[in-house]
């Protein structure tokens, strides 16, 4: 960032963080809301945050915590309302492969989904994922292992029908 302005930081990081949150939350609208809240918190602290080694990591951590809080509230609300409507379909344009991954990720527990997205799609090392999620490294490794196994099962092609024409 040439001048260290918040606006420049916002422009440089928004798209990357939005993609991350869409994968974590499963909904673009929720991801945008959470990200705006996280950026709002960063804006009021910008004079201090701009000197951080990785202010983007701070915003990401805040957004992920907000996503976790929102997911907890939604689960409680859903239990109380007994699921009155079906889940929303994806609202971002994805390729066929990305859509398969998106659907498979949605079926995983939030903790596994967060660990997989941060480590494999964002490219953070396991230690940084643990820091971002405020978890022990061993817990992140466990979530990654279980999440990869579950994704492999979900993304495995179905049995092919073999026809024997006579």
Domain assignment present for residue 166? The answer is no
Residue-range definition of the domain harbouring residue 1? 1-90
Residues 9 and 51 in one domain: yes
Domain assignment present for residue 162? The answer is no
| pLDDT surpasses 70 at 3 | no
Q: Helix/strand/coil (H, E, C) string of 89-151? A: CCCCCCCHHHHHHHHHHHCCCHHHHHHHHHHHHCCCCHHHHHHHHCCCHHHHHHHHHHHHHHH
Query: Phi/psi class of residue 83: alpha, beta or left (left: φ > 0; alpha: ψ in -120 to 50)?
Result: left
| pLDDT surpasses 80 at 90 | no
pLDDT of 161: 45
Domain assignment present for residue 165? The answer is no
Domain end position, chosen among 90, 111, 128? 90
Residues 13 and 83 in one domain: yes
What total of structural domains would you count in the chain?
A: 2
Tell me the pLDDT band of 151, cut-offs 50, 70 and 90. confident
Residues 108 and 80 in one domain: no
pTM given for the model:
0.58
Domain end position, chosen among 43, 75, 90? 90
Domain assignment present for residue 163? The answer is no
Report the range out of 20-34, 71-85, 151-165 with the highest average pLDDT.
Answer: 20-34
Residues 104 and 68 in one domain: no
Tell me the pLDDT band of 33, cut-offs 50, 70 and 90. very high
Please indicate whether residue 53 or residue 2 has the higher confidence score (pLDDT): 53
pLDDT of 160: 53
As a whole number, mean pLDDT of residues 145-163 equals 76
Domain end position, chosen among 33, 57, 90? 90
Residues 82 and 146 in one domain: no
Residues 28 and 77 in one domain: yes
Residues 74 and 8 in one domain: yes
């Amino acid at each position: 960032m040439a001048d260290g302005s918040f606006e420049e930081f916002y422009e440089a990081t928004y798209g990357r963080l939005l993609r991350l949150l869409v994968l974590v939350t499963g909904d673009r609208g929720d991801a945008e809301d959470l990200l705006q809240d996280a950026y709002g918190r960063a804006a009021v602290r910008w004079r201090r945050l701009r000197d951080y080694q990785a202010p983007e990591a701070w915003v990401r951590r805040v957004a992920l915590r907000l996503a976790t809080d929102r997911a907890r509230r939604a689960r409680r609300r859903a239990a109380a309302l007994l699921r009155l409507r079906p889940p929303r379909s994806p609202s971002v344009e994805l390729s066929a492969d990305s859509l398969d991954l998106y659907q498979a990720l949605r079926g995983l527990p939030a903790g596994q989904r967060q660990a997989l997205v941060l480590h494999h799609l964002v490219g953070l090392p396991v230690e940084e994922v643990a820091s971002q999620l405020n978890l022990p490294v061993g817990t992140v490794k466990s979530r990654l292992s279980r999440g990869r196994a579950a994704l492999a099962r979900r993304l495995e092609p179905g049995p092919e029908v073999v026809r024997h024409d006579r």
